[in-house]
Structure 1
Amino acid sequence: MKAPVRTLLPLIAVTAALAAPAAFAGPKCTDAPRSEWMPEKTMQDRITKAGYTIDKFKVSGTCYEIYGKDKTGRRVEIYYDPTDGSVVKERDDD
């Protein structure tokens, strides 16, 4: 026996809504409260001093995240721990 469409659609919608955050969530970078994070400007200065060009800098969950280019001009996406500036996850887009 087939289930009516109006019964299946809400079930599909709820399943998709519950799965979406897990599929698109970035890494967990820290448990520290925001008061213990280094200032965004300090982190940006460290990143550019390391030779990166920042096209976009944002707070992503518990991370600082950049989209930009490395020293060789390759596009990168990098997640940083905002308490110590360490790289948590890095991906180059080229």
Structure 2
Amino acid sequence: MKALRSALAVAVAAVLVAPAAFAGPKCTDAPRSQWLPEHAMQERITAAGYTIDKFKVSGSCYEIYGRDKARRRVEIYYDPTDGRVVKQRGDE
């Protein structure tokens, strides 16, 4: 019985912590009507030298998975209202 309670406690903790671990940044509070069109944002990103493998809306951000000018993998979150980088991860 004690093992069952311990397992249940671990499962509940995992459910409560997991969404926070995978949540992306908050990029904007602006309504979607004020966002740059997706195709315009993609053009800006490629003009900056990035290759886009995947482009998506992630919460209040535009998010890409792709490669930078040096062909390193990147994951970048952009503010969809002005195109600024909010968070970036990549191969170091």
Compute the TM-score of the two structures, normalised by the length of structure 2. Answer: 0.89
Whether 1:7 and 2:5 are equivalent positions in the alignment is: yes
Whether 1:29 and 2:27 are equivalent positions in the alignment is: yes
- In the alignment, what sits opposite 1:78? 76
- In 2, Cα distance between equivalents of 1:26 and 1:8: 30
- In the alignment, what sits opposite 2:61? 63
CA RMSD of aligned residues (A): 1.4
Alpha-carbon displacement from aligned partner over 1:38-77 (angstroms, at most 9, x marks no partner): 1111110110111111011111121111111112222211
- In 1, Cα distance between equivalents of 2:14 and 2:90: 29
Unaligned 5+ segments in structure 1 are none
- In 2, Cα distance between equivalents of 1:43 and 1:67: 14
Moved over 4 A (4+): none
Instruction: Give the counterpart letter for 2:88 in structure 1.
Output: E
Q: CA deviation at 1:5?
A: 1.9
Partner SS, residue 15 of structure 1: helix
- Percent identity over the alignment? 71
Partner SS, residue 71 of structure 2: coil
Compute the TM-score of the two structures, normalised by the length of structure 1. Answer: 0.87
- In 2, Cα distance between equivalents of 1:72 and 1:7: 51
Paired residues, what number?
92
Instruction: Give the counterpart letter for 2:54 in structure 1.
Output: K
Bigger radius of gyration among the two: 1
Unaligned 5+ segments in structure 2 are none
Moved more, 49-58 or 32-41: 32-41
- In 1, Cα distance between equivalents of 2:54 and 2:7: 38
- In the alignment, what sits opposite 1:51? 49
